Amino acid sequence: MTGRRAAATVCAVIAVLAGCGSPPPEPPEMPSPQDLAAKVTIDAMRIHLQRFSEIAQDHDGNRADGTAGYEASVDYVVELLRDKGFEVDTPELQRLDTVSPGRPTLIVGARTFQVDQASLLLPTPAGGTTGRVFAPRVAAGCSARDYPAAVKGGIAVVDDTKCSVVDKHDAAADRGAAALVVISAGGRNGSPPGLFPRGYYEQMAIPVAVAGEEAGAALRRTSTPARVVLDAKNVKVRSRNVVAQTKTGATTDIVLVGAHLDSVAAGPGINDNASGVAAVLETALQLGSQPSVTNAVRFAFWGAEEKNLAGSADYVYGLSRDELNSLALYLNFDMLGSPNAGYFTYDGDQSARADAEGVPIGSEGIERTLASYLNLAGKRPADLPLSQRTDYQSFLAAGMPVGGMTTGADGRKTTVQARLWGGEAGVAFDPNYHTARDDLEAINEDALAVMGSGVAFAVATYATSIEGVNGVPERAKRHRRALGP
């Protein structure tokens, strides 16, 4: 066989196995923030909003978590992402829904105290549980050995230190207590870390109440039986998040971007928050599943935001410290088409609060990135103080840089803001907030056009690089806190 024929034969074999003679396709260029922003158009986002509106119309006027309308919303997002080549997960979560809040109380002598029902799935019998009050020898009550022998049928009273409410419950139940009252001051800083571990209420065999210091003092003084009435009724509800990630980019510096997918039961939730979903979803579709990016992008669509942020909280609680450290930052987008729109960035540098506590390093850079975009788009940005009302809350608690934009909810636009952005002073940014009027016709498309492109701008910026003056800490300098067990 001649050299020429041998080479031709080898090439033919390789061609079959690996496409010899055909150079591999060039990977797509890294999308610039401006280019990706231009691809997320109001026309495209309107299509998503129309579909969510139709879903609500077909399902009792809403897309609330735990309903068929929510499940149809999940299916719509999942189908579009899979068609674009994403591998999509829909991890299940379980949350509680309050059927009746009741009036949980503690009665000591002639005094009645409001309490919280910690045994969420276990109320007291009708009329409450009455018994003598017992305090363990060790105030925390973490072990059955801390109690005297004769506790059977009584009400055990412990403080909130040293162990979880599950340990306190188990010790009291082991000694035969009929109910447990945990004294916890609560207040600004809440209960001590670890007092209420994830899913603690699943393990309750006797009713458990949480009471304040004043009630605790009354219990310690009394020599007569006390009565605990825990009559709140809760049920378990299953839900799903939707999570998809690019197949390219570093998985040690993942850019996580999210929006909540559920509405309230009162309405279709088109601004709150189909608008944020439309922007994040269209950004994912335009970026694609295999973009030429430096850092991987993970897109999340949260369930149960309107139910105590349960979807995002469950997600964060399920991440280990190493998994949390692999997330470079979290971008959150909630309500981007308010009728009386403002143009807010989350206050990552805390400049709007003189008494502000620190937030994770890097949050201030995210704010600057988004504020720069809004300035370039001709909308002067304003700070919106960080709060406990939306899905970045658990990420903040884990020590992760966060940022995002919103056009406002039920707060009222000031005269200065009306001069700055137009609209009507003295009126809520979204007068339809959490009502049936939050529909497709009420969407401010001009605002959504600006904010939707801003989502893409931010995603492309950090998918390209997390470095620079507006960057976030590199992985070696991240010290996240795992919130789960």
**Catalytic center residues:** 305
- Pull the structure tokens for residue 374: 């809004």
CA distance 156 to 147: 9
Concatenate the DSSP letters of all residues of 393-411 into one string.
Answer: HHHHHTT--EEEEE--SSS
CA distance 154 to 173: 10
CA distance 176 to 131: 12
Residue type, 422: G
Decide: 40 and 283 in contact? Cβ < 8 Å. yes
If DSSP codes are grouped into helix, strand and coil, which group holds residue 279? Answer: helix
- Pull the structure tokens for residue 160: 């909130």
Decide: 442 and 432 in contact? Cβ < 8 Å. yes
Q: Which of 259, 430, 442 is nearest to 342 (CA)?
A: 430
Tokens 């207040």 -> residue: 187
Which residues in 155-249 belong to E strands, given as ranges?
Answer: 155-159, 179-183, 208-211, 226-229, 233-240, 242-245
Please list, residue by residue across 358-383, b when 16 or more beta carbons sit within 10 angstroms of its beta carbon and e when fewer do: ebbebbbbbbbbbbebbeebebebbb
Decide: 286 and 37 in contact? Cβ < 8 Å. no
CA distance 104 to 411: 31
Burial class (CB in 10 A: 0-12, 13-18, 19+), 250: middle
According to DSSP, residue 207 is labeled -
What is the dihedral angle through the alpha carbons of 404, 28, 467, 34, rounded to the nearest 10 degrees?
-50
